[in-house]
């Protein structure tokens, strides 16, 4: 048993210690908003916050995540109030198929915590998620909207 703290709640998961955090979140904890896309930390669909840092959870072992604060897309809203990135995403109608969007929103939320008003160059450097539908133009606009919210 490994104890994980996910969205503020302690969860004991019965997995091998070398299980990627992604799969513990999806299968053992049952939070499926965090997505599997590649398993090699390339696409970013599985991005969560670990102690506030945007992290690709397919590349983190459960044993290394124990004792840390893990936030998933389901835990981004606080007290029922959407995060400003989620709100901007709705206002600007960003998602298409939406599959990669949990990861992208988590990455953007972390960026805005670090840089309140990111430039386009900051966005290019920090947001490296793959989106096959290609909603990058809307995403960039929504990031600026969220930054100015």
Binding residues for another protein, rule: CB under 8 A, are 15-16, 19-20, 23, 27-40, 42-43, 45, 72-74, 76-77, 82, 86, 89-90, 93-102, 105, 123-125, 127-140
CB nearer another protein, residue 79 or residue 137: 137
CB of 95 vs another protein, minimal distance in Å: 4
DSSP 8-state assignment for residue 20 = B
Least Cβ distance, residue 119 to another protein (angstroms): 12
65, 13 contact by CB (below 8 A)? no
Report which of 2, 93, 110 is spatially closest to residue 47, judged by C-alpha positions. 110
Instruction: Report in angstroms how near the CB of residue 144 gets to another protein at its nearest.
Output: 12
Q: What's phi and psi for 103, nearest 5 deg?
A: -65, -40
C-alpha torsion sign, points 38, 54, 104, 71: positive
> What is the enclosing helix (H) or strand (E) of 126?
helix 120-126
Least gap, CB of 51 to another protein (angstroms):
20
Nearer to another protein, 14 or 116 (CB): 14
Q: Is 5 helix (H, G, I), strand (E, B) or coil?
A: strand
């Amino acid at each position: 048993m490994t104890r994980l703290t996910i969205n503020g709640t302690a969860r004991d998961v019965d997995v091998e210690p070398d299980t990627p955090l992604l799969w513990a979140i999806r299968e053992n904890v049952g939070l499926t908003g965090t997505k599997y896309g590649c398993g090699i930390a390339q696409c970013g669909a599985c991005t969560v916050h670990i102690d506030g840092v945007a992290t690709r959870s397919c590349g983190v072992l459960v044993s290394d995540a124990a004792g840390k604060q893990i936030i998933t897309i389901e835990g981004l809203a606080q007290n029922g109030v959407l995060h400003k990135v989620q709100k901007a995403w709705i206002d600007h109608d960003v998602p298409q198929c939406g599959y990669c969007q949990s990861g992208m929103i988590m990455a953007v939320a972390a960026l805005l915590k670090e840089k309140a008003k990111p430039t386009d160059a900051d966005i290019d450097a920090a947001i490296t998620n793959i989106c096959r539908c290609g909603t990058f133009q809307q995403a960039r606009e929504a990031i600026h909207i969220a930054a100015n919210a």
